[in-house]
């Protein structure tokens, strides 16, 4: 069992950032709540407050879609555990996804963004009574749902909503950026296939099918996402990773130990238009022992207070397939603040 830390959250009096306990400054909640916070998150979805991912929508301009990550204080208080909001906006995409990420699981708690379930009804602000677990294969699962329903053009309060769903995982697909010539990233793909069942005033509407595809990469998080949330056929939207901000830049090597796609041999933090070195004086590597045990990844603290990274190409443990590993940086002075980085080794 990995450690958990018990915190008392009082909005406006305690602010921690990183992969531990965090607050969303936009949230207006003055109550004091006991929250058990999982400092250790899933390596496939490490979330850090006040950071951004930039995506490219299919057919859109590179990086025009922003995925803004914030710690959702109100939901975290009510649930008793950490909940993060990922607000995705730009181009034809405008939605918010609510996640809980723990050591071995990624849970989807809600979706904001209108879903047109029929010609006469739409739903928004869906919240699942039982969170949907995205890691693992499951079938014929059901959860109650609360949502805002508009029926025949007017808000409707007398509704009963449920979601029947399956989740399937695969790990044989990769994601890439349009301007990358060599680099691909391995993913865990999770597909959510569901029917939304709505009863309005005793009248049951036809079940409405939705599909959501999530592509997660170790150390980075949500690298690609697509979905079909209305009656239109096929994926209505698809976004792919372009860049990030407020987080460590990705690093990639080929089998000769050379960096690819202009990545660095030093861990750096994306900070607007400037990349800054991650200081070994300020951050330690929390999972260094596990990384050293791999036998092929070489991380060193230099005499200039930065971390260098390389590949031992002569190691018998060198992977012969596309591999990404997570590197966790923990602030030496601010307990609970963590940043997640990713190192990828290309296949031969």
Q: Output the domain CATH number for residue 212.
A: 2.40.360
pLDDT in tens, 233-279: 556 899 999 999 999 999 999 999 999 999 999 999 998 878 999 99
Residue 213 CB: number of other CB atoms within 10 A? 17
Alpha helices in 52-165 (DSSP H): 73-79
Over range 222-242, report the average pLDDT. 85
CATH of the domain at 293: 2.60.40
Pairing of strands 185-186, 203-204: unpaired
Pick from 182, 147, 184, 180: nearest CA to 162 = 147
Is residue 115 within 8 A of residue 210, CB to CB? The reply is yes
Q: What pLDDT was estimated at residue 17?
A: 35
Q: What pLDDT was estimated at residue 19?
A: 47
- Does 160 lie in the same domain as 96? yes
- Does 218 lie in the same domain as 296? no
- Does 154 lie in the same domain as 24? yes
Q: Which residues of 223-241 are buried (b: 16+ CB within 10 A; e: fewer)?
A: bbbbbbbeeeeeebbbbbb
- Three-point CA angle 47, 49, 51, nearest 5°: 85
Over range 276-283, report the average pLDDT. 96
Pick from 135, 137, 140, 115: nearest CA to 125 = 115
In eight-state DSSP terms, residue 266 is B
- Does 111 lie in the same domain as 85? yes
Over range 122-151, report the average pLDDT. 95
Pairing of strands 338-345, 251-253: parallel
- Does 47 lie in the same domain as 130? yes
Is residue 234 within 8 A of residue 209, CB to CB? The reply is no
Q: What pLDDT was estimated at residue 5?
A: 31
Domain boundary among 245, 268, 287: 245
Residue 205 has pLDDT above 90, yes or no: no
- Does 199 lie in the same domain as 128? yes
Domain boundary among 245, 269, 285: 245
Q: What pLDDT was estimated at residue 202?
A: 78
Query: Structural domain of residue 263, as residue ranges?
Result: 251-345
- Does 272 lie in the same domain as 214? no
- Does 296 lie in the same domain as 263? yes
């Amino acid at each position: 069992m990995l450690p958990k830390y018990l915190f008392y959250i009082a909005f406006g009096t305690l602010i921690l950032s990183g992969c531990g306990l965090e607050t969303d400054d936009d949230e207006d909640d003055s109550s004091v709540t006991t929250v058990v916070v999982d400092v250790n998150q899933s390596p496939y979805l490490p979330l850090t407050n006040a950071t951004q991912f930039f995506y490219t929508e299919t057919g859109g301009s590179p990086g025009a879609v922003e995925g803004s990550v914030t710690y959702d204080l109100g939901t975290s208080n009510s649930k008793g555990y950490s909940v993060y909001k990922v607000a995705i906006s730009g181009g034809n995409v405008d939605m918010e996804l609510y996640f809980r990420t723990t050591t071995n699981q990624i849970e989807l708690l809600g979706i904001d963004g209108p879903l047109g379930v029929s010609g006469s009804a739409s739903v928004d602000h869906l919240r699942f009574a039982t969170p949907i677990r995205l890691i693992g294969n499951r079938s014929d699962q059901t959860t109650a749902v609360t949502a805002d329903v508009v029926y025949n053009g007017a808000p409707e309060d007398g509704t009963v909503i449920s979601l029947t769903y399956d989740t399937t995982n695969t790990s044989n697909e990769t994601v890439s950026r349009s301007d990358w010539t060599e680099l691909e990233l391995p993913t865990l793909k999770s597909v959510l296939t569901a029917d939304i069942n709505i009863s309005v005033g005793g009248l049951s509407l036809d079940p409405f099918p939705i599909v959501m595809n999530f592509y997660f990469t170790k150390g980075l998080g949500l690298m690609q996402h697509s979905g079909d949330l209305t009656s239109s056929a096929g994926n209505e939207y698809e976004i792919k990773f372009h860049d990030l901000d407020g987080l460590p830049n990705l690093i990639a090597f080929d089998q000769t130990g050379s960096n690819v796609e202009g990545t660095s041999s030093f861990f750096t933090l994306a900070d607007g238009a400037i990349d800054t070195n991650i200081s070994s004086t300020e951050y330690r590597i929390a999972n260094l022992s596990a990384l050293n045990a791999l036998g092929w990844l070489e991380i060193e603290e230099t005499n200039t207070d930065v971390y260098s990274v390389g590949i031992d190409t002569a190691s018998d443990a060198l992977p012969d397939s596309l591999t990404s590993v997570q590197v966790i940086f923990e602030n030496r002075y601010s307990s609970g603040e963590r940043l997640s980085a990713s190192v990828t080794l290309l296949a031969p």
